[in-house]
Amino acid sequence: MTRATLVFNGIDKKIDLESQTNILDAARQMEIGISAVCGGRGLCGKCRIVVRKGAECLGPTIGLERLSLSEDELGEGYRLACCATAARDGTILVEVPPESAIEQQRLQVAGIETIVSPDPMVEKHLVVVSLPQLDDVKSDAESLITALSNQHGIGKVSIGHDALLQLPHAIRDQKNYLMVTLYGEDKIVWIEPGEDLTPLLGLAVDLGTTKIAAYLVDVKEGRTLATASSPNPQIQFGDDIISRISYAREDKKNLKQLQGSVIAVVNKLLQDTCREAGVEARQVFDIVVVGNTAMHHLFLGINPEFLAMSPFSPAVRSEVVTGSKDIGLTANPTAFVYSFPVIAGFVGGDAVADILATQLHKAESPSLMIDIGTNTEVVLSDGTKLAACSCASGPALEGACIEHGMRAETGAIERIYIDHENLEPGYVTIGGTPPRGICGSGVLDALAFMLKSGIVDKRGRIVRTLGTPRIRSANGIPEYVLAWKEETEIGVDITVTQKDVQAIQLAKAAIFAATAVLMRKLKIKPSDIRRLFLAGAFGTYVDPQSALVLGMYPDIPLNRIRFVGNSAGSGARMALISKKARTEAEQIARDTDYVELAADRAFREEFAKALLLPHTELERFPTIAQILSRKG
Ligand code: FES
């Protein structure tokens, strides 16, 4: 009897495989999460694995695999786990790529971890201060400054007003031991009597148009203690940035209202993360904020009016440092808020943070980063310089403004396949519960399979003549039923409507066109791109093949794609932990060339061509052309 040994690379688990046992079943026995939307029938193509060694111990590839995997992928060792069975003795080394790994995808929501050595803006020092004597009467401040110099080699410091108020009593309590907090090595901001061993904390905040995320960080250890997120309350004033800018322009009090709503959420996230970590908000001495330029202005209370008028110039491009209490944040009253520098009116500090986290500015070969959100930022490196632009992609890819759209949380349909013979769907929900709706990656998956199975044509129109009850019309709008009401938790059918399809088409066309314009500027071909970083919550969950089938980004091998989650949040954390990272961010903002798409005719041309699925010029998508022709 055959006894092959199956080893999962990077997971350090192995199992003996009996003849004819497939890798998906073995992975299930070992509790290794591999996406399997069709339940192992070889139909969805979601259970992709890469065989690194011992391919000869497996049976040959079967026809179903050739429908889902390209020739190149097969050549690189890709197989479908449900179709690859043990056939001969030996050791098989298998890797689960990110798009198939269920658990890994969950973890990546937090964003890529780029290691930086802790070198924070704030630091605490224990100082022993001599009390003044009659024969040597010094001021308390002089005694403290002398002690800091003698004991820690720190000279030339100033003492902030709050610290001065604390000093006289602190110096006389607790046997002259003081814990002194410094900001930027030269300003004493806080003084506590005794040996305060509580960690020194910072808060990194990513202000998204739709969502705000906060990370509480022990800045000395460089460790994230807690994270929390919340919808951006400004949504009530408009889904998109332009509506909010118009609202702010109408009246001064509207600007205050917009600013106040965001500050209130950041304060809530501060309290939530502190509660989760069992610490107090007064221990938070440093705050780093990233966001697109409009969010940056609204957060700081700067009128964003001119961002919406040609030439779309921001009020300030360089970093801004403010006192937290000046803008109403309830951290330690002496905490500073560092707002990331921005690149231009529509490419903000979030893109700078993305670049910092992915290290795109250090790439030696052409690399692309796409941060997908309501506004999508695209940054391209040709290996020597960076160019960036931004396009409005709408909230559809985040599950908003979709008939049954919802955030990527429990009950959201996130993976879909459609049998191209009987047009019946299969799906997987987050948490494995009955479906409540569809998240952005689910809608994209649905549309990719609707295209592959002929339910939508290349113009994105739902074809009503296919003779399945799943395609119907509601109030005159065609739709495809993904889940009947009996299977859902909400008691109504969950559908993908013609309007949903259009919203996704517009979004993907904008993203592709923005990418194509940058590639033209830097003279980069799809085959030149060695690495594509997909960022943002949507970018974490998306099936890269579905996005490619729809023509969202250039046709490049899937193994060059790296999911980096919320890399803007990761960049903000790096700048919280390291002064050097802050300096790098400032350099990135200065050095990145901005490409304005509003004035770019090439963008309009590319956009019009990209509205078709996958694209008007199919020759630009050879891999997709191959997949679509195989599906007939
Ligand atoms: S689970 Fe393998 S193709 Fe669907």
Which pLDDT tens digit goes with each residue over 275-303? 999 999 999 999 999 999 999 999 999 99
Does the pTM surpass 0.75? The reply is: yes
CA of 40 from ligand 1 middle (Å) equals 4
- CB within 6 Å of ligand 1 — which residues? 36-38, 40-47, 80, 82
Mean pLDDT of 253-264: 94
Residue whose Cα lies nearest atom 3 of ligand 1: it is 42
Instruction: Mention every residue, 6+ apart, whose C-beta is less than 8 A from residue 476.
Output: none
Cα(433) to ligand 1 centroid in Å equals 20
> How far, CA to CA in Å, does 398 sit from each of 374, 406, 448?
7, 8, 17
For residue 109, pLDDT over 60 is answered with: no
Q: 294: how many CB neighbours lie within 10 A of its CB?
A: 28
Helix, coil or strand: residue 455: coil
Mutational pocket test of ligand 1: of 25, 28, 43, the residue with most ligand atoms within 8 Å of the beta carbon: 43
Could you tell me which residue, 401 or 461, shows the higher pLDDT?
A: 461
CA of 496 relative to ligand 1 center, distance in Å: 22
- Distance of alpha carbon 527 from alpha carbon 574, whole angstroms: 32
Whole-angstrom distance, CA of residue 135 vs CA of residue 193 = 25
pLDDT tens-place string over residues 298-348: 999 999 999 988 889 999 999 999 999 999 999 999 999 999 999 999 999
Mean pLDDT comparison of 96-105, 146-155, 165-174, 571-580, highest-scoring range: 571-580
Strands (E) located in 407-552? 412-418, 425-429, 437-438, 471-474, 477-483, 494-497, 531-535
Q: 398 by DSSP, 3-state: which?
A: helix
Please compute the mean of the pLDDT values over residues 543-554 and round it to a whole number.
90
Which ligand 1 atom is at minimum distance from the Cα of 83? 2
Residue 42 CA to ligand 1 center (angstroms) comes to 4
Segment 233-244 mean pLDDT: 82
Q: Which atom of ligand 1 is nearest to the CA of 45?
A: 3
Q: Residue 329: how many CB atoms within 10 A of its CB? A: 23
Residue 630: the pLDDT is 67
pLDDT of residue 540: 67
For ligand 1, the distance from its centroid to the CA atom of residue 212, given in whole angstroms, is 35
- Cβ atoms 507, 397 nearer than 8 A: yes
Taking the CA of residue 36 as reference, the ligand 1 atom at the shortest distance is: 1
Q: Is the pLDDT of residue 174 over 70?
A: no
Of the two residues 174 and 325, the one the predictor is more confident about is 325
Dist CA 91 CA 323 (whole Å): 60
- Mean pLDDT over residues 149-153, rounded? 92
Summarised one tens digit per residue, pLDDT across range 491-527 is 899 999 999 999 999 999 999 999 999 999 999 999 9
DSSP 62: -
Q: How far is the CA of 117 from the centre of ligand 1 (A)?
A: 42
Q: Given ligand 1 and candidates 34, 61, 79, 80, which is best to mutate, with the most ligand atoms within 8 Å of its CB?
A: 80
- Residues 561-605: pLDDT tens digits? 888 888 999 999 999 999 999 999 999 999 999 999 987 899 999
Model pLDDT for residues 393-451, shown as the tens digit of each residue: 877 777 767 889 887 778 889 889 899 889 999 998 888 899 999 988 899 999 999 99
Is the predicted pLDDT of residue 537 greater than 80, yes or no?
no
* CA of 417 relative to ligand 1 center, distance in Å: 9
C-alpha dihedral, 593 to 598 to 602 to 607, nearest 10°: 120
Kindly report the average pLDDT of the chain as a whole number: 89
**41, 61, 78, 631: which to mutate for ligand 1, most atoms within 8 A of CB?**
41
**pLDDT attached to residue 105:** 35
Helices (H), 523-600: 536-541, 544-549, 567-577, 579-591
